[in-house]
């Protein structure tokens, strides 16, 4: 028999594992035992005659306890993941867009439903992969939406919030506007595509093909694609395959819960490590995924992350890896956590820099506590900002390891944060019309572009996106989360979008310094001045060029005085615009802005 399908399951606690086949009515029609190997791995080979078979696995442990579950390795599932389905594995053979030089990447985080569900977006097949695959879409007001909008921004990577099969949206229920919503950080099947983003969730192949078409469309638009993956926990430990397989961290039989989601996956176990490595390799090979963002990566171990990096290097060494390196997880004493404190052990994996985030925006969890851009804080805050922009706090080995950001999908948007500090309703006309709030938002958006590292932007920061003060909209309705394309052309916000596009173009120009090591950062970046709400530093741009950066978060102009008179200075960024005017005599940094001058 030619083995078209090979099922394999590492089940150290099992005495028997069986495949149970079902018809569409849910009646058992087939039973096949999996053969146990020497290493507690059970396997079964099947021919193409079984294509389309709906199946589950039945696990019997040493105590005679029988558990039935969907195959955790399944790459095709029925609606709501009740059964695995035998379908041929895809093999991607497309063309990736060229990878940008390390440190010039600009990552733009999106949610499939957010960008495609709004009735005003002018998108067919709303809320789906297919909706994001369509070129030529326009809003009712004639502004670009969907794929064309993404293409217009000048970013290098689009990061997709979870698109694997998650548990918290009923795929057979009402999927219309405001009916159901979830970010998707509730893993059910790590290797299967989410069905609520398909035009037909009941057809196991539709979600696969439409997701593939979406990735191809993004590639054709010149965008590399990062997939947000969640291997640190599962939605329901009690019903998931990982429970009888013993894949969780436990204490005396009780599940550990450093994730805050009820369980914690034991990534240090060899079988779990192999599962995760194989999983990311599958997404890269089947769909051409160009990068992976690891949720709560601090719960993972360094050895697993190193293994992932090695495996992906065999596929394409330019596949980008990044993650949340927060210090968390119930790690064994001999296990090294994959967190910020151990960034030097995984130098080709980037990590979100919370120091930069908090220095710029203020306390991420207390809405009313401001940061540098709100004009608050003493000299220490300005010095903290310089350290954050040069990424000197954490043991990064490469500058691009530091992911510089001020806003992501969770917590308040930057606009809503500034409104909270100012005591304003973020959805009010008063907030939208406030010139000072606008300038502070522009400054916050600009600062990561002036730093050393990888720039990360949450979708909508370029038009002062509001979620009406909702700091955790993971299951809030579409009226809170849906993307408002027309907001970027509203005269009150258009300046932000225009600057965003200009910054993306500017950041990628060859003239902007991209140090390749921290020795180079130390040599080329010189702190000049720090006081409350103000900071300046000098960059050795090479080839006898100097770049002067001055940041003014105060509400009055900063008169610095003339720079070195033996050089000709030209503005590169001034008063929230890309500028190329020659500077003579006094240098003035307008209130609540940043100026960049080059000799």
- What's the CA dihedral at 112, 117, 121, 123 to 10 degrees? 80
Q: Which residues contact 479 (CB under 8 A, 6 or more apart)?
A: 178
Considering 18, 114, 324, 358, which one is annotated as catalytic?
A: 324
What is the spatial distance between Cα 97 and Cα 11, in angstroms, rounded to a whole number?
40
Structure tokens at 510: 């060859």
Q: Where do the domains of the chain lie, and which CATH numbers do they carry?
A: 5-69 (2.60.40.10), 106-507 (3.20.20.80), 523-598 (2.60.40.1180)
- Mapped onto helix, strand or coil, the DSSP state of residue 224 is strand
What separation in angstroms does the CA of 154 have from each of 202, 354, 486, 499, 500?
36, 25, 18, 11, 9
Measured at the CA of 11, the angle between CA 8 and CA 14, to 5 degrees, comes to 125
What is the spatial distance between Cα 368 and Cα 508, in angstroms, rounded to a whole number?
34
Structure tokens at 435: 């010139």
CA-closest candidate to residue 598, choices 536, 527, 538: 538
Alpha helices per DSSP H over 39-116: 112-116
- Mapped onto helix, strand or coil, the DSSP state of residue 277 is helix
SS3 content of the chain, % helix, strand, coil (to 5): 30, 25, 45
* Annotation marks residue 295 as catalytic: yes
- Mapped onto helix, strand or coil, the DSSP state of residue 190 is strand
* Annotation marks residue 324 as catalytic: yes
pLDDT tens by residue, the chain, 599 residues: 456 999 999 999 999 999 999 999 999 999 999 999 988 999 999 999 999 999 999 999 999 999 999 999 999 999 999 999 999 999 999 999 999 999 899 999 999 999 999 999 999 999 999 999 999 999 999 999 999 999 999 999 999 999 999 999 999 999 999 999 999 999 999 999 999 999 999 999 999 999 999 999 999 999 999 999 999 999 999 999 999 999 999 999 999 999 999 999 999 999 999 999 999 999 999 999 999 999 999 999 999 999 999 999 999 999 999 999 999 999 999 999 999 999 999 999 999 999 999 999 999 889 999 999 997 778 999 999 999 999 877 889 989 999 999 999 999 999 999 999 999 999 999 998 999 999 999 999 999 999 999 999 999 999 999 999 999 999 999 999 999 999 999 999 999 999 999 999 999 887 788 888 989 999 999 999 999 999 999 999 888 789 999 999 999 999 998 787 778 889 999 999 988 888 887 899 999 999 999 98
Say if strands 66-69 and 54-61 run parallel, antiparallel, or are unpaired: antiparallel
Alpha helices per DSSP H over 390-509: 414-422, 429-433, 435-446, 478-481, 494-507
- Mapped onto helix, strand or coil, the DSSP state of residue 562 is coil
Considering 165, 210, 290, 295, which one is annotated as catalytic?
A: 295
Q: Which pTM value belongs to this model?
A: 0.97
- Mapped onto helix, strand or coil, the DSSP state of residue 144 is strand
Query: For residue 303, which phi and psi values (nearest 5 degrees)?
Result: -60, -40
Side-chain half-sphere CA neighbours of 415 within 13 A: 28
């Amino acid at each position: 028999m030619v083995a078209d399908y090979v099922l394999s399951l590492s089940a150290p606690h099992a005495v028997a594992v069986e495949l149970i086949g079902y018809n569409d009515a849910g009646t058992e029609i087939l039973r096949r035992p999996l053969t146990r190997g020497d290493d507690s791995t059970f396997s079964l080979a099947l021919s193409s005659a079984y294509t389309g078979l709906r199946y589950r696995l039945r696990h019997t442990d040493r105590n005679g306890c029988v558990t039935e579950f969907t195959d955790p390795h399944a790459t095709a599932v029925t609606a709501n993941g009740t059964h695995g389905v035998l379908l041929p594995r895809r093999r991607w053979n497309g063309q990736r867009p060229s990878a940008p030089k390390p440190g010039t990447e600009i990552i733009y985080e999106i949610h499939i439903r957010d960008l495609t569900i709004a009735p005003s977006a002018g998108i067919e097949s709303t809320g789906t992969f297919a909706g994001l695959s369509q070129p030529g879409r326009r809003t009712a007001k004639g502004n670009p939406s969907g794929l064309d909008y993404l293409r217009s921004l000048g970013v290098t990577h689009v990061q997709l919030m979870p698109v694997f099969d998650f548990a918290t949206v009923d795929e057979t229920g009402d999927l219309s506007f405001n009916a159901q919503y979830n970010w998707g950080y509730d893993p059910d099947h790590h290797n299967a595509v989410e069905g609520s983003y398909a035009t037909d969730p009941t057809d196991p192949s539709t979600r696969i093909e439409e997701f593939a078409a979406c990735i191809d469309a993004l590639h054709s638009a010149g965008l590399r694609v990062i997939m947000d993956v969640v291997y640190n926990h599962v939605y329901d430990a009690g019903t998931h395959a990982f429970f009888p397989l013993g894949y969780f961290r436990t204490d005396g039989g009780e599940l550990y819960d450093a994730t805050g989601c009820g369980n914690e996956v034991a990534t240090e176990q060899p079988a779990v490590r192999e599962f995760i490595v194989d999983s990311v390799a599958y997404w890269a090979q089947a769909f051409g995924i160009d990068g992976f963002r690891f949720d709560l990566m601090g719960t993972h171990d360094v050895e697993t992350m190193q293994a992932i990096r090695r495996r992906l290097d065999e596929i394409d060494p330019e596949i980008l890896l990044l993650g949340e390196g927060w210090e968390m997880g119930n790690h064994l004493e001999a296990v090294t956590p994959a967190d910020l404190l151990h960034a030097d052990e995984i130098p080709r994996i980037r990590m979100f820099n919370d120091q930069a985030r908090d220095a710029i925006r203020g306390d991420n969890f207390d809405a009313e506590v401001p940061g540098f851009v709100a004009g608050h804080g003493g000299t220490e805050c300005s010095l903290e900002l310089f350290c954050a922009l040069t990424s000197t706090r954490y043991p990064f080995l490469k500058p691009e390891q530091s992911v510089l950001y001020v806003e992501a999908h969770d917590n308040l948007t930057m606009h809503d944060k500034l409104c909270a500090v100012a005591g304003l309703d973020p959805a009010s006309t008063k907030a939208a019309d406030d010139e000072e709030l606008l300038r502070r938002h522009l400054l916050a958006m600009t600062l990561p572009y002036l730093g050393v590292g990888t720039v990360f932007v949450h979708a909508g920061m370029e038009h002062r996106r509001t979620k009406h003060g909702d700091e955790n909209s993971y299951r809030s309705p579409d009226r809170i989360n849906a993307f408002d394309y027309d907001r970027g052309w509203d005269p009150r916000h258009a300046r932000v979008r225009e600057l965003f596009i200009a910054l993306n173009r500017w950041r990628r120009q060859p003239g902007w310094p991209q140090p390749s090591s921290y020795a180079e950062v130390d040599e080329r970046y010189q702190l000049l001045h720090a006081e409350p709400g103000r900071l300046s530093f000098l960059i050795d741009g090479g080839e006898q060029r100097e770049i002067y950066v001055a940041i003014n978060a105060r509400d009055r102009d900063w008169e610095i005085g003339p720079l070195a008179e033996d050089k000709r200075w030209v503005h590169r960024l001034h008063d929230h615009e890309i500028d190329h005017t020659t500077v003579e005599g006094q240098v003035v940094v307008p209130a609540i802005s940043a100026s960049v001058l080059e000799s």
